[in-house]
Amino acid sequence: MNKLPALSELGPVRLVSHAEQMGMGFEDVVVLLASDEHFAPYMAVALQSIVEHVSPERHYDIVVLTRNMSQQTIDTLVGHTRHPNVKLGFLDAETALKGAHLPCHGHFRPETFFRLLAPWLLPQVRKAIYLDSDLVVLEDLSELFDVNVEGYLLAATRDADMLGQMGGYDGTVGPYLSQELGLRDPSLYFQAGVVMLNLEAFRHVFSVTDMLSLSTRKLWRWLDQDILNMLADGKYVTLDMRWNTLMDWKRLRRANIIAQAPDDIREQYEQARMQPAIVHFAGPDDRPWDYPECDMAAYFWEYAQRSAFIAELERRLRLSRGSLGGRANRAKVDLIFKGVMPLFDHLCPPGSERRTRVIKGYVALGGDIT
């Protein structure tokens, strides 16, 4: 049995500006995440779930892309994410940004764009798994890493949620994907919360200037996910949906949104839910750290109990439930999703022209529907 390294043996871990400074070999499984200081406690749960499923025969270099992670947070994550087969590093994306402002909206954060910079932040790495930080991993990531992406920019799962929206839940989505993104086949749109990136292929075809130009050209509806879909345009390795199993957000995604998707997509989603390899808590609200009763939240809290920031997660949950601001936000969310949305669905059924007109009007007035 491999000896667990002592903290003194790990050496100092700092937020660095060059990959060479991390002292990683990048010779086996490479995993990328992105987080800011605020999101670190949630990312810590993802890290805990990754480490608990590593193979004793493989080595894992995990790189956190950030720009403002405090040394205290780094020390806490490194101290808690110790494993003889795992090395954790923190890479500052600020230099690659070259002063660019990354436009965001809704619940999205600028760090989501960092995956676009990964090929140049890690110039010696051929390929890497990118994971959003709002998920838990239930199986060994080496199986995903071994997926062959030669000849493609990436591997990803088709987006069941997006296909349901195109199928009638939101009539503005299809035209947006075909007209504004220019996708030849919008039905091949993928979900980018879990992607196997062929970093070498990106470097061969594009430049970091290309990525920054696309990122800042306009406020894309689904930000860097839209950009990746534009670049691939339907040409990617399709992963089994169990590698990116979306939670049933607000109990609407499954019965109301994915219900509008084609039969084969609905079947793939239901099969993935039966044996997920990664559970992704994607959505603007209803996250397990604020709503422990939400769909699939048990997966999150199982790993949260053993994660580096469990005390902070519990503190934030108490504030969400008990503070004046937290209660006000919950009341607003309940009003929208238990009152307004059911009424809207009744008056403007999915697939109706009236529904599309109302959504277009809402967006024109500045409403956010992501």
Token pair, residue 118, equals: 């990964």
How far apart are the C-alpha atoms of 334 and 104, rounded to whole Å?
25
Over range 269-294, report the average pLDDT: 94
Answer yes or no: are the C-beta atoms of 24 and 31 closer than 8 Å: no
- Confidence band, pLDDT 50/70/90 cuts, at residue 285: confident
- Confidence band, pLDDT 50/70/90 cuts, at residue 7: very low
Highest-pLDDT range among 90-99, 125-134, 341-350: 125-134
Q: Which domains does the chain have, with CATH numbers?
A: 7-333 (3.90.550.10)
| 297 Cβ neighbours under 8 A, 6+ residues apart | 288, 291
Question: Model confidence over 90-100: pLDDT tens digits?
Answer: 999 887 777 66
Answer yes or no: are the C-beta atoms of 249 and 148 closer than 8 Å: no
Question: Model confidence over 155-169: pLDDT tens digits?
Answer: 999 999 999 999 999
Q: Return the half-sphere exposure (C-beta side, CA atoms, 13 A cut-off) of residue 303.
A: 27
Answer yes or no: are the C-beta atoms of 154 and 236 closer than 8 Å: yes
Over range 19-25, report the average pLDDT: 92
Strands of 59-169 (E only): list them. 60-66, 86-92, 128-131, 135-137, 154-158
Answer yes or no: are the C-beta atoms of 155 and 147 closer than 8 Å: yes
Please give the model's pTM, rounded to 2 decimal places.
Answer: 0.93
* Tally of residues, the chain: 370
Q: Given a cut of 70, is residue 370 above it in pLDDT?
A: no
Model pLDDT, residue 272 = 98
- Residue-averaged pLDDT of the chain: 92
Q: Given a cut of 50, is residue 358 above it in pLDDT?
A: yes
Answer yes or no: are the C-beta atoms of 116 and 40 closer than 8 Å: no
How far apart are the C-alpha atoms of 27 and 335, rounded to whole Å?
51
**In 3-state terms, what secondary structure has residue 146?**
coil
Instruction: Please report, rounded to a whole number, the percentage of residues in the chain having pLDDT higher than 90.
Output: 76
How far apart are the C-alpha atoms of 52 and 47, rounded to whole Å?
9
Q: Are strands 190-197 and 135-137 parallel, antiparallel or unpaired?
A: unpaired
- Confidence band, pLDDT 50/70/90 cuts, at residue 338: confident
Q: Are strands 245-246 and 15-16 parallel, antiparallel or unpaired?
A: unpaired
Model pLDDT, residue 241 = 98
How far apart are the C-alpha atoms of 231 and 202, rounded to whole Å?
10
Q: Residue 148's closest CA among 131, 126, 125, 130?
A: 126
Question: Model confidence over 231-254: pLDDT tens digits?
Answer: 999 999 999 999 999 999 989 999
- Confidence band, pLDDT 50/70/90 cuts, at residue 46: very high
**In 3-state terms, what secondary structure has residue 185?**
coil
Q: Helices marked H in 276-309 — which ranges?
A: 297-304
